[in-house]
């Protein structure tokens, strides 16, 4: 859920005061009373404060895509925009870091190999050049 109201403001609010949220589907802001917000945070309420309406909530589910964590293969749910913006998906930051670290080294090896291939090709090219010039 995306809370627009600042944490300091929320702290000073009474349970009947309205907190402003941003709908994760249509980006419109909507308000819910603080009581519901604290119930959601403590798990007392099964409501989600991610969407302004049931319509947005159900529409967002259509756009949800199942994928797997690239590192530990755990099943993940991503919304469509989050899915297309990233090629690799991770369940948490530590999985992303592990994957990133490993691929930095292979990337380095690959580029080293490419460099040596390039050098060999250049040698060949020079060889042909000399051959044709003669």
Question: From start to end of the chain, where are the E strands?
Answer: 2-3, 18-22, 29-33, 64-68, 75-79
Residue 128 to residues 119, 123, 125, Cα–Cα distance (Å): 14, 9, 5
Coil, strand or helix: which one is 50? coil
- Report, in angstroms and rounded to the nearest whole number, the Rg of the chain calculated over CA atoms: 26
- Using the minimum distance from each CB to Zn ion, give the nearer residue, 72 or 119: 72
- As measured in angstroms, the least distance from the Cβ of 70 to Zn ion is 8
Residues engaged in binding Zn ion (CB under 5 A): 23, 25-26, 52, 56, 69, 71-72, 74, 91, 95
- Using the minimum distance from each CB to Zn ion, give the nearer residue, 26 or 67: 26
- As measured in angstroms, the least distance from the Cβ of 29 to Zn ion is 9
- As measured in angstroms, the least distance from the Cβ of 21 to Zn ion is 10
Residue 32 token pair: 């819910």
- Using the minimum distance from each CB to Zn ion, give the nearer residue, 2 or 15: 2
């Amino acid at each position: 859920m995306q809370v627009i109201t600042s944490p300091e403001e929320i702290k000073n609010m009474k349970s009947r005061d309205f907190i402003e949220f941003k709908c994760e589907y249509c980006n419109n802001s909507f308000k819910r009373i603080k009581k519901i917000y604290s119930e959601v945070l403590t798990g007392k309420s099964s409501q989600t404060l991610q969407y302004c309406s049931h319509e947005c909530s159900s529409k967002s589910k259509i756009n949800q895509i199942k994928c797997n964590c690239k590192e530990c293969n755990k099943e993940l749910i991503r919304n469509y925009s989050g899915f297309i913006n990233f090629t690799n998906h991770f369940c948490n930051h530590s999985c992303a870091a592990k994957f990133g670290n490993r691929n930095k080294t292979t990337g380095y090896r690959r580029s080293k190999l490419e460099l040596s291939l390039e050098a060999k090709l250049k040698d060949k090219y020079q060889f042909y050049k000399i051959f044709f010039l003669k």
